[in-house]
Structure 1
């Protein structure tokens, strides 16, 4: 259980900049931490909603099984939700509409490719685990 808490703290530091503060008073520190935790909670809720609506992962049954043509995609993660949220709220506001649409399409395609690649890697990792367990 402790590793999960450590992972959450590490994710909050890298995702919502929990550790990027220089404050002199408790009140300023409290405001920064509150805003960072609220941002992390928003991203975690977005990821959890996507995970509940996401189909079950395709996993191998035996170590000799060939990989399927399409392993699907992993559910949205908190760092990926943060990256897409940042894209939609800040990185495209000064672009012309055609450039904005092109940038959004490029980032969404990249996100989809990455999540599909991670699902394929998970499938192969599980197949290797099955071979080791036998």
Structure 2
């Protein structure tokens, strides 16, 4: 499945993106039309696999348009920031469960609470 999305992202990027994307990256959009440049390595992550599956279910496979994830930019920023830090398996499972349950919107209590908890941890140091 990751290969299929990788192939589609490369095809879509050539057609719709006026600015170039660095080698080893692909572009996704969120439901609020924010653009994210994501490393291809994230395609192996279970959270991204679930987001791709959800995107396919909600929007279908893009044949001539961008890949759109069914989450807003606030939730996507949070997910990307977690992935950059190499999540512990238990936290990855919790995020994966919340993505599947709450459809990854920052307006849900989980992402709001997780973002607040993250800020508390950072300010505590």
TM-score of Structure 1 vs Structure 2, range by shorter chain: under 0.3
> Going by fraction, where is strand more abundant, 1 or 2?
2
Higher RCO, Cα 8 Å, sep 6+: 1
Larger Rg: 1
Give TM-score scaled by structure 1 length. 0.26
Give TM-score scaled by structure 2 length. 0.28
